[in-house]
Amino acid sequence: MRNILIAAAVSLLLSMVGTPLAIRLFGRRGYGQNIREEGPSGHYDKKGTPTMGGTVIVIASLIGYFTAHLTTLFSAVTDPPTASGLLVLFLMTGLAAVGFLDDFIKIYKQRSLGLRSGAKAAGQLVVGAIFAVLVVRFPNGYDITPAETKLSFLRDFGPSIGLLGFTVWVLFYIVGFSNAVNLTDGLDGLASGATCLVLAAYVLIGNWQLRNSCTLLLGPNCYSVRDPLDLAVVAAAVLGACFGFLWWNAPPAKIFMGDTGSLALGGVIAGLAFTTRTQLLLVILGGLFAIITMSVIIQVGFFKMTRKRVFRMAPLQHHFELSGWAETTIVVRFWLIAALCVAAGLGLFYLEWMPKQ
């Protein structure tokens, strides 16, 4: 528990202090956001707002995580970083690098599009493939690896789908959720606030899995998770960094996270889902991201078939903008939807522990 609090506090402080420094630095260098011409007209006022704020989230998260572990060097029991925690942080940092390149090209060429879609997807796939191969290695003393080549909901279930099938599943999931957070990042504070809620859920999940670990006490509902406490530390570190960033990203935003942040945050929640063995549960916990992604799929698919649109504009938040809703109204209401999804996911997670009459 101490490590969780230290990681969250350090990353929060660094993010709160570092974000205004990034605002001034990126502002002086002209690292401002370009706006899509076909987007809502209300977004034109945001042109030139500093972007790539996701770099602060990533750096603050990494420092917060490693600081929490460094403090144990001075205690009676050392607590070094674990394979699970490092792999999730690798996934976050690798996807952040892809997003950073995308953001930098946008700024350098002064356009709203950065990397070509093929190059961006290739970067995500390379990082995801490395994660998929490594996450089923590094067994601990109980022969538990960070993940298994199985599907999972509240824990692993069913037969192994093999390394190839698992790799394809990991790639689909990582690309899907990193792009889902990216699509959600269309209004001030929307993506960062929704991600905070999902990360808070994973802090609770990691703690509960630790208290009911199969390595401590065998039982019908125990969890075979390699490093549940360290995964809670990772979630807390990123949560603190996101919370500090949200202070400056809330409407009206002083800085945007850019693809650097959105891809990184999508990657970290996907990585937590695999390492906590809650892959399918994330679809519920991150229900807002799933809803917004589905709105794009429906819009594109329906338009290709009928040449007509279901929504005024996709992703879904822009439909409500064009319907006359104020940006802050959309953000707060979508946060409420995200909170309901997290509550439903946590309810399902704890349901099996409820007393049976």
Q: Which residues are annotated as a binding site for Mg(2+)?
A: 182, 259
Q: Which residues are annotated as a binding site?
A: 182, 259
Residue among 129, 14, 115 nearest 63 (CA): 14
| CA–CA dist 263, 55 (Å, integer) | 11
DSSP 220-246: TT-B--S-HHHHHHHHHHHHHHHHHHH
Distance, in Å, from the CA atom of 174 to the CA atom of 170, rounded to the nearest integer, reads 6
52 phi-psi bin (left φ>0, alpha ψ -120 to 50, beta other): left
CB 83 within 8 A of CB 227: yes
Burial of 140 (0-12, 13-18, 19+ CB in 10 A): middle
Listed in sequence order, the DSSP H helices in the chain are 2-29, 54-70, 83-109, 117-134, 162-184, 190-211, 228-249, 258-275, 281-285, 287-306, 316-322, 327-351
Task: Tally Cβ neighbours within 10 Å of residue 268.
Answer: 33
Name the region of 48 (left: φ>0; alpha: ψ -120 to 50; beta: rest): left
What 65-73 contacts at long range (C-beta under 8 Å, 24+ apart), as own/partner pairs, is 65/7, 65/11, 65/89, 65/233, 65/234, 65/237, 67/6, 67/7, 67/10, 68/2, 68/3, 68/4, 68/6, 68/7, 68/10, 68/233, 68/237, 69/3, 69/233, 71/2, 71/3, 71/6, 72/3
